[in-house]
């Protein structure tokens, strides 16, 4: 699914997120491990490496040639994209009626609404509408319950160690994919798998896995309580739906501002760190040496930009 979108330069408008930190809105320093996963797949998957570099070159050229946004209106010059989403809820068979673990369809819808709000920059008139929309997939309808289009639920026995407490191993990915309905083509969708925990890192709340082109998020970090505080059972500091926004940003090609630190990557004859070649490769935020946990406009420029 991602490769269809990556052929255009629509990533330029993804500048409304605070990706300067692993989880910038949280008092607890939860983790997003996407950087190390991204670096690993870049080193070991030559096709992904070539596609990613080509995409970044297109983005850079679009920036330099000013072909993405209208200089006067800030409106996008790109077509609107609607991304079909399938949410896979993995829960223990004994928790069938536990809405904290087998979360409600309404909670899932609240997260999709949050994604659409943030990507459209609703309430933030100084930022751009990305022209990227999200919807819960409705077809093929045989994969989804009539009342829950875009959602597949998996009741696993005794916590199914590999997938319920996700192990982030090849065997765990195979176990997850083996649960998919026969005939389901995951490449046709943005797939978000909801798990109870990440076995290797209790502070990990979500990751985009580039080599697999899927997102995994903790059940307690998926949904939006901002309109109605306390409506859904969500983890403290993770109640506003920004974890999924953060990980979908990675899915669409946006890195952390501290990705790679200050590597001194420059154009010919230049000495400062080029904001189009370092960090998140976007110049709305400078590259920086490390994660920064406060979401503020005064993030220090710790590279020689």
Q: How many domains are there within the chain?
A: 1
Angle formed at CA 277 by CA 305 and CA 290, multiple of 5 degrees: 65
Angle formed at CA 283 by CA 79 and CA 274, multiple of 5 degrees: 125
Q: Give the pLDDT score at 191.
A: 95
- At residue 87, the 3 state secondary structure works out as strand
The mean-pLDDT minimum among 65-79, 102-116, 172-186 falls in 65-79
* CATH at residue 151: 3.40.390.10
- Is a pLDDT exceeding 60 seen at residue 28? no
Q: Looking at residues 177-189, what average pLDDT do you find?
A: 92
Task: Determine, yes or no, domain membership for 266.
Answer: no
The encoded tokens of residue 152 equal 């597949």
Task: Determine, yes or no, domain membership for 239.
Answer: yes
pTM reported for the whole predicted model: 0.76
Q: Give the pLDDT score at 7.
A: 32
Q: Give the pLDDT score at 163.
A: 87
Task: Determine, yes or no, domain membership for 203.
Answer: yes
Angle formed at CA 217 by CA 18 and CA 50, multiple of 5 degrees: 70
Task: Determine, yes or no, domain membership for 128.
Answer: yes
Q: Give the pLDDT score at 65.
A: 67
* Size of the chain, expressed as the number of residues it contains: 305
Task: Determine, yes or no, domain membership for 275.
Answer: no
The parent domain of residue 240 ranges over 31-44+78-251
Task: Determine, yes or no, domain membership for 189.
Answer: yes
Strands 204-209 and 214-218, by their bridges, are antiparallel
Furthest C-alpha separation in the chain: 63
Task: Determine, yes or no, domain membership for 88.
Answer: yes
């Amino acid at each position: 699914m991602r490769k269809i979108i990556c052929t255009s330069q629509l990533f330029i408008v993804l500048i409304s997120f605070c990706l300067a930190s692993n989880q910038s809105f949280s008092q607890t320093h939860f983790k997003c491990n996407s950087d190390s996963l991204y670096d690993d797949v870049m080193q070991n998957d030559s096709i992904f490496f070539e596609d990613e570099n080509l995409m970044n070159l297109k983005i850079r050229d679009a920036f330099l040639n000013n072909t993405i946004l209208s200089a006067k209106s800030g409106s996008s010059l790109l077509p609107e994209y609607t991304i079909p989403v399938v949410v896979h809820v993995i829960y223990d068979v004994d928790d069938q009626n536990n809405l904290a673990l087998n979360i409600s369809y309404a909670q899932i819808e609240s997260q999709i609404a949050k994604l659409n709000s943030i990507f459209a920059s609703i309430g933030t008139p100084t930022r751009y509408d990305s022209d990227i929309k999200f919807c819960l997939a409705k077809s093929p309808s045989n994969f989804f319950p009539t009342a829950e289009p875009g959602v597949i639920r998996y009741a696993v026995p005794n916590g199914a160690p590999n997938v319920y407490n996700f192990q982030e191993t090849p065997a765990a990915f195979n176990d997850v994919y083996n649960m998919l309905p026969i005939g389901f083509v995951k490449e046709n969708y943005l797939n978000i798998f909801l798990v109870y925990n990440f076995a290797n890192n209790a502070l990990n709340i979500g990751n985009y896995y580039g080599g697999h082109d899927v997102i995994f998020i903790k059940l307690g970090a998926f949904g939006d309580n901002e309109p109605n505080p306390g409506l859904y059972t969500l983890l403290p500091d993770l109640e506003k739906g920004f974890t999924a926004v953060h990980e979908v940003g990675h899915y669409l090609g946006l890195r952390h501002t501290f990705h790679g630190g200050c590597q001194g990557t420059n154009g010919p004859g230049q000495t400062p760190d080029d904001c189009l070649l370092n960090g998140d490769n976007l110049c709305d935020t400078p590259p920086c040496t490390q994660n920064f946990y406060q979401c503020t406009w005064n993030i220090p420029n710790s590279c020689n930009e």
